[in-house]
């Protein structure tokens, strides 16, 4: 059983012959009692501090556990976010490639259509050109024929200045 400061202070010793000085013993007992009381108070303070430290340690451990869980969740979220970003990026690239291919197909189709138009226009141009050449050629022939007829009619006319043309022959020449 532990002594209390009061027990130390109240402790009495038997008096004997040639014993210790009573005042000195009492003074020492008072000092021991105070020191012992201080030590007991220090022990109580340390125990209280130990309890507080245990509580704080538990709180820190709980905080650490929470932080670890948060960190794990943040890492998982980051990983998921990164994966989602990669998937989104790949999807955007695929959509862009599809759109580019569609545009290229449209351009190719338009080029083919334009080439057909150009080809049609070239053939129309050639047709018109050849018809114009034929027309101009026949007109030149007609003019030459008229000039020849004019010379002949001048020579054969009685000086009236009137010239006669065969309408069927002129139309044949125009065709």
d(CA 153, CA 149): 6
Give the count of alpha carbons within 13 A of 3, CB side only: 15
pLDDT of residue 165: 58
Q: Is the pTM of this model over 0.75?
A: no
In tens, the pLDDT along 28-39 reads: 888 888 888 899
Q: Tell me if 122 sits within 8 A of 132, measured CB to CB.
A: no
Q: Report residue 101's pLDDT band, with 50, 70 and 90 as the boundaries.
A: very high
């Amino acid at each position: 059983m532990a002594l209390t400061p009061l027990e130390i202070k109240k402790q009495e010793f038997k008096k004997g012959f040639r014993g210790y000085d009573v005042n000195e013993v009492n003074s020492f007992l008072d000092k021991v009692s105070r020191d012992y009381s201080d030590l007991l108070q220090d022990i109580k303070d340390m125990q209280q501090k130990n309890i507080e430290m245990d509580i704080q340690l538990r709180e820190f451990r709980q905080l650490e556990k929470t932080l670890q869980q948060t960190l794990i969740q943040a890492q998982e979220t980051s990983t998921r976010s990164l994966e989602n970003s990669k998937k989104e990026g790949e999807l955007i690239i695929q959509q862009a490639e599809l759109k580019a291919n569609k545009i290229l197909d449209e351009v190719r189709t338009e080029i083919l259509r334009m080439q057909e138009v150009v080809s049609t226009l070239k053939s129309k141009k050639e047709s018109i050109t050849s018809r114009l050449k034929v027309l101009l050629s026949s007109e030149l022939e007609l003019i030459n024929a008229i000039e020849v007829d004019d010379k002949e009619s001048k020579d054969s006319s009685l000086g009236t200045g009137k010239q006669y043309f065969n309408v069927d022959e002129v139309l044949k020449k125009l065709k």
